[in-house]
Amino acid sequence: MAGYEEIFIGGTWVQPDGTERIPVHNPATEEILASIPVSSPADVDRAVTAARSAFDGWSATSRAERAGYLTALRDALAARADEMADLITAEMGTPITIAKRVQVALPLGVLGSMIELLKGDEEIERVGNSMIVREPVGVVGAITPWNYPLHQTIAKVAPALAAGNTVVHKPSEVAPLSAYLLATLMQDIGLPAGVYNLVPGPGEPTGASIVEHPGVDMVSFTGSTRAGKLVSAGAAASVKRVALELGGKSANVLLPDADLATAVKVGVSNCYLNGGQTCTAWTRMLVPASRYDEAVELAVQAAAKFAPGDPTDAKTRLGPMASAAQRDRVNGYIERGVAEGAKQVLGGDPVPERGYYVAPTVFADVSPDSTIAQEEIFGPVLSIIRYEDEDDALRIANSVVYGLAGGVWSADVDHAVAFARKMRTGQVDINGAAFNVLAPFGGFKQSGNGRELGAHGLAEFTEVKSVQLP
């Protein structure tokens, strides 16, 4: 890897077209870690040309050959897992223990799942006199966020490559350094030139150039709903495929017979994972009125254990926000919550003087229609909302424009599942069930469209063709 001076196009590190650069800060120390190039439209065009040139050869490889490259990538990443975790902790502030267990371990699991899916022959569906086959889309533009920089990249790049596509990747300019290490691993394993290309930079001009490029056949984007709307609009001119994984405002519904102590403890941990900078975070805890005061007390006790601290310390559970802008955004929502009448039962405690920290915050007496209950905050802020009966709980759970994830707790699993089926959201965990990299991931409503992970995620990067036989 040639430092962070260059960009990766056509299997080699090359000089960018321009001289503009963006600093990358360590959010715990506010120090500049590095600076990266701003890839220009000309750089994007070079990357798309390289990906297009590589497509015919890569799409013609066998499933076993593609599995071989993904296996090599998984093994190379596993060998440098600690280095990758340290890099993610440095660039976006994830506590090192979470960086190892989630930020790096999840991508390794996703790579393993794609390798397994490529085993065996292609499944060909027969319908009447038709043979139904799936073929790669072509050149995929992958635009990934800063909160899970490696996982969200692998969730796109691994299935795209597995399906026979080539990729032009733009990581977030807030946390791009892990993508540089990934590109180095791609080069180390001998991935054919042009199959994966890295063009760092901001949304404008770099991201927009990918979205609008006529040589890009599909854009897979993860980020805010606001930015996702811009991606859809920009891609419309060339009618390219768009897959969007956007914001969330997930409800964690504690039904009356739930194990309250466990549900609250797990719910707080889910809300605060990665500093609350998780699109699936259960930021709304819905509690029956009869058990509300007890739930608030338990939540404050659990949340108080998330003391902000040095993310390189293995004992730290809550690191900084990924940027100064994100810290200011979260603090702005906290102020809005107080102004709109919610009761701040935890928060406002001192945080480290250096770094983009926000104290763990819990709001009680939150109106379901208030700003903090409706908009994605992306920080360690929990809103506890009371409900009168299950119909009321369902109404509140479905009252936001998002529909990405959620949780339901009950002593009766069947009852919890029945409630979950009525929630307008793409993923629901029952009684704290574990995340599954084999299951499809994606949202309803303004949380996006399309699915990632598992067989559904692989299919997302294919076109369906029917061949009529005589």
CATH number at residue 273: 3.40.309.10
Comparing CA positions, the residue from 395, 398, 401, 394 lying closest to residue 447 is: 401
* Res 120: pLDDT: 83
pLDDT(400) > 80 = yes
pLDDT band at residue 116 using 50, 70 and 90 as cut-offs: very high
From 279, 376, 452, 460, the catalytic residue: 279
Q: Quote the mean pLDDT of the chain.
A: 97
| Same domain assignment for residues 144 and 286 | no
Task: Extract the tokens encoding 306.
Answer: 């998330």
Q: Are 88 and 178 contacting, i.e. CB atoms less than 8 angstroms apart?
A: yes
Of 115, 93, 112, 101, nearest to 25 by C-alpha is 93
Asked if pLDDT for residue 469 goes beyond 80, the answer is yes
Domain check: are 110 and 45 in the same one? yes
Residue 1: pLDDT band (50, 70, 90) is: very low
pLDDT score for 123: 87
Give the model's pLDDT for residue 83.
Answer: 98
302 and 176 within one domain: no
3 confidence band (pLDDT: 50, 70, 90): confident
Number of domains observed in the structure of the chain: 2
Residue 410 lies in a domain: yes
Could you tell me if residue 217 is inside a domain?
Answer: yes
Q: Are residues 273 and 371 in the same domain?
A: yes
Instruction: Give, for 410, the enclosing helix (H) or strand (E).
Output: none
Write down the pLDDT at residue 357.
98
Residue 27, in any domain of the structure: yes
Please pick, among 91, 173, 245, 460, the residue that the annotation labels catalytic.
245
pLDDT tens digit sequence for 221-258: 999 999 999 999 999 999 999 999 999 999 999 999 99
Task: State the pTM of this model.
Answer: 0.97
- What is the secondary structure of 110-164 as a DSSP string? HHHHHHHHTSSPPP-EEETTEEEEEEE-SEEEEE--SSSHHHHHHHHHHHHHHTT
Residue 2 falls within a domain, yes or no?
Answer: no
Whether residues 378 and 457 fall in one domain: no
How many Å separate Cα 156 from the centre of its chain?
A: 10
User: Is residue 286 domain-shared with residue 215, that is, in the same domain?
Assistant: no
* Residue at 22: amino acid letter: I
CA neighbours closer than 13 Å in the CB half-sphere of residue 107: 29
What domain range includes position 30? 7-246+447-468
Examine the domain organization and report whether 235 and 275 are in the same domain.
no
Task: Tell me, yes or no, if 460 is annotated catalytic.
Answer: no
Chain centroid to CA 456:
16
Please state the length of the chain: 470
Identify whether residues 266 and 240 lie together within a single domain.
no
Residue type, 215: G
Q: Does residue 271 carry a catalytic annotation?
A: no
Would residue 1 count as lying in a domain?
A: no
CATH of residue 456: 3.40.605.10
Q: Is residue 373 part of a domain?
A: yes
Partners of 403 in beta bridges: 444
- Do residues 190 and 281 both lie within one domain? no
- In this structure, are 462 and 417 located in the same domain? no
pLDDT digits (tens, 9 = 90+) for 319-353: 999 999 999 999 999 999 999 999 999 999 999 99
C-alpha–C-alpha distance, residues 180 and 430, integer Å:
37
- Which residue's entry shows tokens 């479905």? 398
Least Cα distance to 259 among 293, 289, 287 occurs for 287
C-beta of residue 437 within 8 angstroms of C-beta of residue 106? yes
Asked if the structure places residue 405 within a domain, the reply is yes
pLDDT at 2: 47
Nearest to 431 by CA among 255, 174, 272, 297: 255
The DSSP symbol for 99 reads I
The answer to whether residues 256 and 240 belong to one domain is no
Task: With beta carbons less than 8 A apart as the criterion, state whether 382 and 285 touch.
Answer: yes
Per-residue burial over 142-173, b if 16 or more Cβ lie within 10 Å, else e, is bbbbbbbbbbbbbbbbbbbbbbbbbbbbbbbb
Pairing assessment for the beta strands 241-245 and 448-449 based on DSSP bridges: antiparallel
Same domain, 242 and 255: no
Q: Is the dihedral of CA 376, 382, 387, 389 positive or negative?
A: positive
Residue 80: inside a domain: yes
